[in-house]
Amino acid sequence: MTVFTGSDLTCLRGARLEFGNLAFDAGAGDAVMLRGRNGAGKSSLLRLMAGLTSPRRGTIFWQGHNIADDRMAHRARLQYLGHQDAIKPVLSVRDNLYLWAELRGISNIDSAIDHALRALDIHHLAHTAGRYLSSGQKRRTALSRILLGDSDLWLLDEPTVGLDRESCAELARLIAGFRAKGGIVVYSTHIDLDITSPKILDLDQFAI
């Protein structure tokens, strides 16, 4: 069953049209991999999917409803990871996650954080301030946010940046587990992840 769709999407960034007439569809348990040259609009498409920006033309639907009609409801159902790790340097890893969990209104915050820390293998860094983390540790901390609370959709923009091979393998396992529960994942990456049967969306085909 198709859950997440977009039709006739055109994206304008500044004065430049990045892509036009783009369409996509994803059902429960699907993974969609975004491909394209630098500047093709992969990050822009993920922001459109998250409802953070609006398309120049076209519509994105969740279960047949335009996401623009209720952006708050749409954002509540998804987790979005952008290029920036957004780790506050003066806060510990745990406090960074606590702040994020509070913003999302998550109950049982402590147990949710414990689960996320173990899943990304950063439990030993729980009380380390963000300023002392390596780039890989910052990325794993950022990734741990997607495990806080329930969600139906993960939008991941270059999630493998700064990760070593073992961390990439762990991310692939987390994605597989999320898909097994019916979650939808849309991601861009320059490093091949061990993702089973992803749909490929090549943005170069929609270049203007």
Question: How far from the centroid of its chain's Cα atoms is residue 93's Cα?
Answer: 19
As a whole number of angstroms, the distance between CA 40 and CA 45 comes to 9
Mean of per-residue pLDDT scores for the chain: 94
Is a pLDDT exceeding 80 seen at residue 128? yes
SS (H, E, C) 94-149: HHHHHHHHHHCCCCCHHHHHHHHHHHCCCHHHCCCEHHHCCHHHHHHHHHHHHHCC
Q: Span 81-88, mean pLDDT? A: 89
Q: Span 114-124, mean pLDDT? A: 94
Given this model, what pLDDT does residue 105 score? Answer: 86
Question: 15 pLDDT band (50/70/90 cuts)?
Answer: confident
Task: Using alpha carbons, select from 46, 47, 44, 1 the residue that is nearest to residue 19.
Answer: 44
Tokens read off for 23 = 């369409």
20 C-beta neighbours (distance < 10 Å), count = 18
Given this model, what pLDDT does residue 20 score? Answer: 93
Fill in the DSSP letter of residue 50: H
Given this model, what pLDDT does residue 75 score? Answer: 93
Is a pLDDT exceeding 90 seen at residue 74? yes
- pLDDT digits 0-9 by tens, 55-72: 999 999 999 999 999 999
Is a pLDDT exceeding 90 seen at residue 190? no
Is a pLDDT exceeding 80 seen at residue 14? no
The residue to which tokens 């939008």 are assigned: 155
Q: Which stretch of 1-15, 88-102, 149-163 has the lowest confidence by average pLDDT?
A: 1-15
pTM more than 0.85: yes
